[in-house]
Amino acid sequence: MSEFAPAPAPNDPATDKVMQWTAGKVVACIALFILAGIAEIAGGWMVWQTIRENKSWYWAVIGSLVLIAYGFIPTLQPLDTFGRIYAVYGGFFILLSYLWGWVLDGDKPDVGDWVGTGIAMLGVLLALFWPR
């Protein structure tokens, strides 16, 4: 195929690679979503602490470095679909954000927060594990 040839159509059975889920891939996938969430939230929280809570400037520098590292974590996912990885990650981000705020800032989630988080997690797990 020439480098100038058009890309194959999406969902073309001749070119699609369907990932087969294994227990190891499920654990790795979920662990990477959690790691990415912790990195993104920690980095953003450290910048927030500098700007909003008058912490020292180096908190923002460290937070920024953590955010750079966060950008690389999704590339370790066993999935090959950028959009799906980031969409599913969004549900994990919601859950982890509430937990972070509760543990570190004392902002206890209310019933609406938990119900919304449950709906989001159900939706993203459905999208992640839907048979294709």
- pLDDT value of residue 12: 53
Contact 77, 32 (CB under 8 A): yes
Which residues of the chain, if any, have pLDDT below 50?
Answer: none
- pLDDT value of residue 9: 54
97: number of Cβ within 10 Å:
19
**Token reading at 99:** 């937990």
- pLDDT value of residue 113: 98
Contact 44, 67 (CB under 8 A): yes
- pLDDT value of residue 92: 98
Report helix angle 57-72 to 23-52, nearest 10: 160
25: number of Cβ within 10 Å:
14
For residue range 27-64, what is the model confidence (pLDDT) as tens digits?
A: 999 999 999 999 999 999 999 999 999 999 999 999 99
